[in-house]
Amino acid sequence: MTLPPNVYDAEPIPHAARAEIDKMLKSGDLFRYTAPENAPVTLLEQEFSALMGSKYALAVSSCSAALFLSLKALNLPRDARVLIPGFTFAAVPSSVVHADCVPVLCEVGDNYRIDLKDFDAKLDSTISAVIISHMRGHTSDMNAIMALCDARDIPVIEDAAHSLGTTWSGRNIGTIGKIGCFSFQSYKLVNAGEGGILITDDADLVARAVIMSGAYEHNWAKHFNGIDAELESAFARWQNQLPLYNLRLSNLSAAIIRPQLDEVPRRVSDGRSGHDHVAEQLNSSLWLHVPPALPQEERAPDSIQFNLTGLSDNDTAAFVAAAATRGIKVQVFGQSTDNARAFWNWKFLPEGIPELPQTRAMLMRACDTRLPARLTRAEQDVIAQALLDAADEVMGTQTRAYGT
């Protein structure tokens, strides 16, 4: 019999990282600027921008740091208003506050994607920038969003923390907006414990971000594979003009990340196949619904989200308990205490907590279960069956009674 799997353990770090780390432990060369060239962090930036098809990459200490630097690189004035989705991780509004800007929240639908009507309504003349958080790797409609933002000349930052490997009409998520930000925290597709990276094609933006990330004096010259004339003039323009926030990545982290980039295609295809396999089973239940991907989207999931349909608050709590009894942890975003993904817990918002009835209703029934790419089919089936059985235990196997 297959037991419920441990879904929290990470995959082992590829062996190739060990030799590189051992070399570093001997030399002590952990700082990205010690070596005159080819530091592991710089090589990671070159490899990552090549993988994504972007001109520039800047590796930093976290995705939150990348989001913060993106806003700073856009040179937004103090108190600039930044539109973000009402369903995201608390780190996103936090990065906006950290950058001395004001987060404005828009509604998110029960498919976990930005509600375009509310987005359009809130994208008024007071908004200076937008962060599209592809929460849990669910891609919002980037065609509609880019059309609305381009028409108003509003820059878009993509929070692609959970979207490494996701494509939209064949384009890599993170390359559609002006800047894309990714995470290497342990619960993301590539695990370095902590770390992040931003990508862009804009020389001026990346020059500002590089300096503010902590490239003091002329250390910017150690970034990139050769500094072209456009970058050279951008660095000359910003030399000594910007504060240094020191959000750099260590060579040790880069050595852990680099060999995992080769694993991304396998993790993406296994993750997607496992997700879709479990989703199909959950959708056979009257009580569970996994919203489909958008037609343009090829997803890269390492967890599954589904909505409870026709369940009361009490039924929802009973379902979570019944799944736990079967060894499967389900988190309902809006039901667990102090959940960092429930906007009403973001009490640090400078303008207070807005009313987002649609997002709130979604969060009260949206379930989250980890589904790492390394699970076997048998383990995926244990998870799916446990969720189906838990729903049946609480709601019964009868067909739902409409209008009675």
Ligand X SMILES: *Cc1c(COP(=O)(O)O)cnc(C)c1O
Residue 300 touches ligand X, criterion: CB under 6 A: no
Shortest spacing between CB 196 and ligand X, in angstroms: 5
Q: Which of 135, 256, 332, 362 binds ligand X (CB under 6 A)?
A: 135
Applying CB under 6 A, what is the total number of residues that bind ligand X? 15
Give CA–CA dist 397/391, Å, rounded: 9
Residue 59 touches ligand X, criterion: CB under 6 A: no
Residues 23 to 52 in contact with ligand X, rule: CB under 6 A: none
Closer CB to ligand X, 63 or 375, in the complex: 63
Shortest spacing between CB 341 and ligand X, in angstroms: 9
Shortest spacing between CB 330 and ligand X, in angstroms: 18
Q: Which stretch binds ligand X (CB under 6 A): 75-83, 86-94, 317-325, 331-339?
A: 86-94
Q: Which stretch binds ligand X (CB under 6 A): 73-81, 157-165, 247-255, 312-320?
A: 157-165
Q: Which of 30, 63, 254, 320 binds ligand X (CB under 6 A)?
A: 63
Closer CB to ligand X, 92 or 383, in the complex: 92
Residues 95 to 134 in contact with ligand X, rule: CB under 6 A: 133
Q: Which of 58, 80, 161, 371 binds ligand X (CB under 6 A)?
A: 161
The mark string for 194-223 relative to ligand X (x by CB under 6 A, - otherwise) is --x---------------------------
Instruction: Count Cβ atoms below 10 Å from residue 289 Cβ, excluding itself.
Output: 18
Closer CB to ligand X, 166 or 316, in the complex: 166
- Distance (Å) of CA 236 to CA 206, 213, 225: 13, 16, 18
The mark string for 217-256 relative to ligand X (x by CB under 6 A, - otherwise) is ----------------------------------------
- SS3 per residue for the chain: CCCCCCCCCCCCCCCHHHHHHHHHHHHCCCCCCCCCCCCHHHHHHHHHHHHHCCCEEEEECCHHHHHHHHHHHCCCCCCCEEEEECCCCCHHHHHHHHCCCEEEEECECCCCCECHHHHHHHCCCCEEEEEEECHHHCCCCHHHHHHHHHHCCCCEEEECCCCCCCEECCEECCCCCCEEEEECCCCCCCCCCCCEEEEECCHHHHHHHHHHHHCCCCHHHHCCCCCCHHHHHHHHHHCCCCCCCCCECCHHHHHHHHHHHCCHHHHHHHHHHHHHHHHHHHCCCCCEECCCCCCCEECCCCEEEEEECCCCHHHHHHHHHHHHHCCCCCEECCCCCCCCCCHHHCCCCCCCCCCCHHHHHHHCCEEEEECCCCCCHHHHHHHHHHHHHHHHHHHCCCCCCCCC
Closer CB to ligand X, 159 or 379, in the complex: 159
Q: Which of 42, 172, 183, 285 binds ligand X (CB under 6 A)?
A: 183
Q: Which of 42, 49, 70, 88 binds ligand X (CB under 6 A)?
A: 88
Closer CB to ligand X, 62 or 175, in the complex: 62
Residue 185 touches ligand X, criterion: CB under 6 A: yes
Residue 70 touches ligand X, criterion: CB under 6 A: no
Residue 159 touches ligand X, criterion: CB under 6 A: yes
- Least Cα distance to 67 among 149, 156, 188 occurs for 156
Binding site for ligand X (CB under 6 A): 62-64, 88-89, 91-92, 133, 135, 159, 161-162, 183, 185, 196
